[in-house]
Amino acid sequence: MKEESNQQNSQKAIEGRQKKRCEMNSRERLQQLQRKLYLKAKQAPEYKFYILYDKVFLDYVLKESYRIVKSRGGGAGIDNVGFQEIEAIGLESYLSEIADQLRSRRYRPAAIKRVWIAKATGGRRPLGIPTIRDRIVQAACKLIIEPIFEADFEDSSYGFRPKRSAHGAIKAIKRHLQSGKSEVYDADLRGYFDSIPHDKLLKVLSERISDKRILWLIKLWLKAPVYEDGNYSSGKKRKAGTPQGGVLSPLLANIYLHLLDRIVNNPKSVFARYGIELIRYADDFILMGHLIPEMVLNRLHELLRRMGLRINPEKSKRVNAKESPFDFLGYTVRYDRSIYDTRKRFWHIKPSEASQRRMRQSINMLLKRIGHYGPDDVVRSLNERLRGWLNYYDIPGVSYTKIARRKLNWYMRHRLNRYYNRKSQRKSRLYRQQAFKILVDKYGLIDPLYC
What's the average model confidence in pLDDT over 431-449?
A: 85
The type of residue at 306 is R
What's the average model confidence in pLDDT over 102-121?
A: 88
State what percent of residues in the chain have pLDDT above 90: 78
- Asked whether the beta carbons of 189 and 312 are under 8 A apart, the reply is yes
Q: Where are the alpha helices (DSSP H) in 311-433?
A: 353-369, 375-393, 402-421
The predicted structure's pLDDT at residue 434: 80
- For residue 184, the cross-strand partners are 288, 319
The predicted structure's pLDDT at residue 371: 79
Please state, in angstroms and rounded to a whole number, the distance separating the CA atoms of residues 126 and 243.
8
Confidence of residue 10 (pLDDT cuts 50, 70, 90): very low
For residue 424, is pLDDT > 60? Answer: no
Least confident interval from 91-95, 122-126, 135-139, 201-205: 122-126
187: three-class secondary structure by DSSP: strand
Confidence of residue 229 (pLDDT cuts 50, 70, 90): confident
Three-state SS annotation for 5-40: HHHHHHHHHHHHCCCCHHHCCHHHHHHHHHHHHHHH
* Strand pairing category for 124-129 and 226-228: unpaired
Please state, in angstroms and rounded to a whole number, the distance separating the CA atoms of residues 32 and 14.
18
Torsion-angle region of residue 122: left (phi > 0), alpha (psi -120 to 50) or beta?
Answer: left
Confidence of residue 426 (pLDDT cuts 50, 70, 90): very low
For residue 286, is pLDDT > 70? Answer: yes
Q: Where are the alpha helices (DSSP H) in 269-374?
A: 270-273, 294-306, 353-369
- Asked whether the beta carbons of 380 and 387 are under 8 A apart, the reply is no
- For residue 188, the cross-strand partners are 284
Please state, in angstroms and rounded to a whole number, the distance separating the CA atoms of residues 7 and 18.
19
Least confident interval from 106-120, 243-257, 297-311: 106-120
Which of 95, 20, 23, 99 lies closest to 56, judged by CA?
A: 99
The predicted structure's pLDDT at residue 6: 44
299: three-class secondary structure by DSSP: helix
Confidence of residue 118 (pLDDT cuts 50, 70, 90): confident
Write b or e for each residue in 352-391: b if 16 or more Cβ atoms lie within 10 A of its Cβ, otherwise e.
beebbebbeeebeeebeeeeeeebeebbebbbeebeebbe
16-44: per-residue pLDDT in tens? 456 777 788 999 999 999 999 999 999 99
Please state, in angstroms and rounded to a whole number, the distance separating the CA atoms of residues 57 and 98.
8
What's the average model confidence in pLDDT over 424-443?
A: 70
The predicted structure's pLDDT at residue 259: 97
For residue 421, is pLDDT > 80? Answer: no
CA atoms within 13 A of residue 238's CA, in its CB half-sphere: 20
Residue 31, number of CB atoms within 10 A of its CB = 15
64: three-class secondary structure by DSSP: helix
Please state, in angstroms and rounded to a whole number, the distance separating the CA atoms of residues 75 and 84.
11
Please state, in angstroms and rounded to a whole number, the distance separating the CA atoms of residues 254 and 404.
32
The type of residue at 34 is Q
> Considering Cα of 429, then 434, then 436, then 441, what sign does the dihedral take?
negative
Confidence of residue 430 (pLDDT cuts 50, 70, 90): low
The predicted structure's pLDDT at residue 117: 81
Please state, in angstroms and rounded to a whole number, the distance separating the CA atoms of residues 398 and 375.
35
Least confident interval from 223-227, 287-291, 342-346: 342-346
Residue of 56 and 117 predicted with greater confidence: 56
The predicted structure's pLDDT at residue 213: 98
Residue 216, number of CB atoms within 10 A of its CB = 11
Query: Structure pTM?
Result: 0.90
- Asked whether the beta carbons of 52 and 61 are under 8 A apart, the reply is no
423: three-class secondary structure by DSSP: coil
Rg (C-alpha) for the chain, rounded Å, is: 26
What's the average model confidence in pLDDT over 394-421?
A: 93
156-191: per-residue pLDDT in tens? 999 999 999 999 999 999 999 999 999 999 999 999
The predicted structure's pLDDT at residue 423: 61
DSSP 49: B
DSSP 19: P
For residue 96, is pLDDT > 90? Answer: yes
What's the average model confidence in pLDDT over 104-112?
A: 96
90: three-class secondary structure by DSSP: coil
Please state, in angstroms and rounded to a whole number, the distance separating the CA atoms of residues 61 and 71.
15
Please state, in angstroms and rounded to a whole number, the distance separating the CA atoms of residues 228 and 221.
17
Least confident interval from 93-97, 129-133, 311-315: 311-315
* Strand pairing category for 226-228 and 112-118: parallel
Please state, in angstroms and rounded to a whole number, the distance separating the CA atoms of residues 65 and 132.
11
Please state, in angstroms and rounded to a whole number, the distance separating the CA atoms of residues 249 and 411.
37
For residue 2, is pLDDT > 60? Answer: no
Mean pLDDT (the chain) is 91
- Asked whether the beta carbons of 363 and 412 are under 8 A apart, the reply is yes
The predicted structure's pLDDT at residue 3: 43
